[in-house]
A and B are shown apart, each in its own frame.
Chain A
Amino acid sequence: MSNGKLSSRTILVVGGGIAGISATVEAAEAGYEVVLVESSPTLGGRVAQLNRYFPKLCQPTCGLEINYQRIKKNRAIKVYTMTSVGKVEGETGNFTVSLNTRPRFVKANCTACGDCAGAAESEIDNPFNYGMDKTKAAYLPHAMAFPLRYVIDPSVIGSPEAEKIKASCTVDAVDLEDKEGSFEIGVGAIIWATGWQPYGAEKITQYGYGEVADVINNVEMERLAAMNGPTAGRIVRPSDGKEAKRVAFIQCAGSRDEKHLPYCSRICCLGSLKHAAYLREQYADAEIDIYYIDIRAHDKLEGFYQKLKNDPQVNFIKSKPGSIVRGESGDPTVKGENTITREIYANSYDLVVLATGMEPSARGEGSSVNLQRDEYGFVVPCVFEPDGMIAAGVASGPLDVSMSVQSATAAALRAIQAIAQGEGK
């Protein structure tokens, strides 16, 4: 690809979650060329992994599908999946970026018929469901994947199974020779929309994640509740498949904690309220305890909180628990002090959900890239002068979907300004 004058009008968007997608279409619809790179095999990011999302509790499809249509329609957009950023050189208005691609082993003529998955025998942990179930080594990331194209896991490459998979494809879309690659592009501005990852709950040792059965985190709860999740939407305990009716939510699990994430992730309170709503819909006799320091349901969602607060089957217990242990019956047991009554409690549940926060993903990403980050690892946007390094979505701070979209729109405008600045030089 050339580095001609035109390229300085190109905007690179890194990360194809809701923020990256939004920034891409906004900038492209304003007349700019956009290259969108995504490190996983599909666009959609974490939103695709939610069951439903507030404020309106819509399906993730409604936000994503319309944007996919906008991407497809717009010829100024180029999407590269399984691609990440290697090196960035140059300055605002004139960057040279090297991009690295991983092999997918499936070409663009894939019709997503699924024959290859039928031929595959090996199974891998299903990343879409956070490893709560398995998927074939030839798989479609999920039903809403974009591009709608299969992937073959590198673990089977070189085996007779790979040959079998290749042979099963009737349109000859399997390419077992696919290799890692890299290429360079020239761009005028870069939007970092690399999003987040769930904070590692196993690091909060006293909460027993990974040690005590039926202690899960909140992203796993989203998958448990989802029709396309590991249990087809039935909220049951992972250990024995029993219906999870007595459920505890532990707020600020690792958040606002100097030893873990010192900041408030903003969405976990609403996340747990939403999960309580899932449970109340599924089981009429569900009993839910939400352990909290203070509930932070920001502005427009206060009403949602009030509604649940009036539900007699949803209890709010003002307490940050000390520990979660395996109780005598084998159930997870939450221990702590109720700070209103000063009672020391030990309560057992079917399921305990740790409301862990959002940690900026790929903290180390782009160590070769000179990105300004705050003390928590979020990318700091330069506010006072047009800068070609711009952040959007959760890469810039803990935001919900609508705020991510707003920040993406703002980022698109900043990128355009940066390009104008670069052209003026």
Chain B
Amino acid sequence: MSKSYTYYPGCTSRSSSMHLEKSLRAIAPKLGMELNEIEDWNCCGTSVGHIAEGRLPNAALSARNLALAKDRGEDDVVTACAACFIHTHDANEQIREDEGFKADLNEALAEAGQAYDGSLLVRHVCEVMVKDVGVDAIKAQVTNPLTGLKVAGWTGCQTVRPFAATERGGMFDDFDDPKFMRDFIEACGAEAVEFANNTSCCGGSVAVISPQKSLQLMKTILDEAKEREADCVATPCPLCQQNLEMYQDLINKEFGTDFQIPVVFYSQLMAVAFGLNPLTDAALNQQMIPATKLVEMGTK
């Protein structure tokens, strides 16, 4: 039986994390998730929008998306991007809690003949997978268990913080030592190596803006992945995936290391484990550092 959700893909789904989008779209039907895209959605503002124009205009971006989501009815709004999730969820909660803020935003929305009352719930797709789908249902879809693949589950920060252990955030995992990545990896039949850096930060947008400040943070994560002999790192977060993959060359140059560790999304692991095409469905052809072992597991 499948359940219908309103889906908010976010900007990176069209560019830097297209492989998350593709693989998620590939596995969603198997997990009974019907993802209906918000019509004409816009950018969420990410972690910098408010600095440019202030809090209200930034929240207006989310308000428009939510108003459009509401046109689809009361289905929960689901997104796979950590930044999209916290900014949209946060804006939604503030609309619910702060009458003045809600009134201001509605005044702005009225310019386009729109309105939003705060009635929707904004959720992260991982929370949906844990709570609505369930790890057992994920396991049930596995036809090609990733036996022998060692994966470092790296949750990063914003997927779980600051909302995972709040009521409206779904109470689905811990802030400091979340378990769901491990559960996903094991459900796919792979081995989840111990990973103390589970929620270590890659530097986020500071890493994009001034990489030098965050190279050490990323190196610590890579160091542990290597020490644990992981074949790849798996993450739910687009920014984490991009930073850790993109900066490995720079890190190697800076610290004299020789990291070549593939960084994939949990959804790519699932796609391969579900027996889908590793290149087109799991979109592993879009890795900058090829996840060779995982690709081979899929083509056998």
Chains A and B touch (C-beta atoms under 8 A apart)? yes
Which residues in B have their C-beta under 8 angstroms from that of A326?
196
A180-213 with Cβ < 8 A to chain B: 205-206, 211
Chain A contact-residue range equals: under 10
For B165, the closest partner residue in chain A by CB is A259
Question: What is the bound-complex CA distance between A206 and B200, given in angstroms?
Answer: 12
The stretch that binds A, out of B99-107, B148-156, B172-180, B277-285, is B172-180
Taking a contact as CB atoms under 8 Å apart, the answer to whether B176 and A206 are in contact is yes
A325 on the B face (CB < 8 A): yes
Question: What is the bound-complex CA distance between A325 and B177, given in angstroms?
Answer: 12
Which residues in B have their C-beta under 8 angstroms from that of A211?
177
Question: What is the bound-complex CA distance between A323 and B176, given in angstroms?
Answer: 10
For A211, the closest partner residue in chain B by CB is B177
Which residues in A have their C-beta under 8 angstroms from that of B196?
325-326
Question: What is the bound-complex CA distance between A326 and B228, given in angstroms?
Answer: 15
For A206, the closest partner residue in chain B by CB is B176
Q: Using a Cβ–Cβ cut-off of 8 Å, how many residues does chain B contribute to the interface with A?
A: 5
Query: Would you give the shortest CB distance from B19 to chain A, in whole angstroms?
Result: 31
Question: What is the bound-complex CA distance between A365 and B139, given in angstroms?
Answer: 39
User: How does the 8 Å CB contact mask read for B172-197 relative to A, with 1 for contact and 0 for none?
Assistant: 00111100000000000000000010
Query: Would you give the shortest CB distance from A252 to chain B, in whole angstroms?
Result: 17
User: How does the 8 Å CB contact mask read for A301-339 relative to B, with 1 for contact and 0 for none?
Assistant: 000000000000000000000010110000000000000
Query: Would you give the shortest CB distance from B158 to chain A, in whole angstroms?
Result: 17
Scoring A205, A323, A325 by chain B CB atoms within 10 A of each residue's CB, the highest score goes to A205
For B175, the closest partner residue in chain A by CB is A205
Query: Would you give the shortest CB distance from B180 to chain A, in whole angstroms?
Result: 14
Query: Would you give the shortest CB distance from B73 to chain A, in whole angstroms?
Result: 35
Which residues in B have their C-beta under 8 angstroms from that of A205?
174-177
Query: Would you give the shortest CB distance from A328 to chain B, in whole angstroms?
Result: 10
For A203, the closest partner residue in chain B by CB is B174
Which residues in A have their C-beta under 8 angstroms from that of B174?
205
Question: What is the bound-complex CA distance between A205 and B175, given in angstroms?
Answer: 8
Query: Would you give the shortest CB distance from B40 to chain A, in whole angstroms?
Result: 40
Query: Would you give the shortest CB distance from B101 to chain A, in whole angstroms?
Result: 24
Query: Would you give the shortest CB distance from A114 to chain B, in whole angstroms?
Result: 43
Which residues in B have their C-beta under 8 angstroms from that of A323?
176
Question: What is the bound-complex CA distance between A211 and B182, given in angstroms?
Answer: 15
Which residues in A have their C-beta under 8 angstroms from that of B176?
205-206, 323
Query: Would you give the shortest CB distance from B199 to chain A, in whole angstroms?
Result: 10
For B174, the closest partner residue in chain A by CB is A205
Question: What is the bound-complex CA distance between A206 and B174, given in angstroms?
Answer: 10
Query: Would you give the shortest CB distance from B251 to chain A, in whole angstroms?
Result: 19
Question: What is the bound-complex CA distance between A47 and B63, given in angstroms?
Answer: 58
Q: List 9 A-B contacts (CB under 8 A).
A: A205-B174, A205-B175, A205-B176, A205-B177, A206-B176, A211-B177, A323-B176, A325-B196, A326-B196
Given contacts A211-B177, A326-B196, 7 further A-B contacts (CB under 8 A): A205-B174, A205-B175, A205-B176, A205-B177, A206-B176, A323-B176, A325-B196
Closest 8 CB pairs of A and B: A205-B176, A206-B176, A205-B177, A205-B174, A325-B196, A326-B196, A205-B175, A211-B177
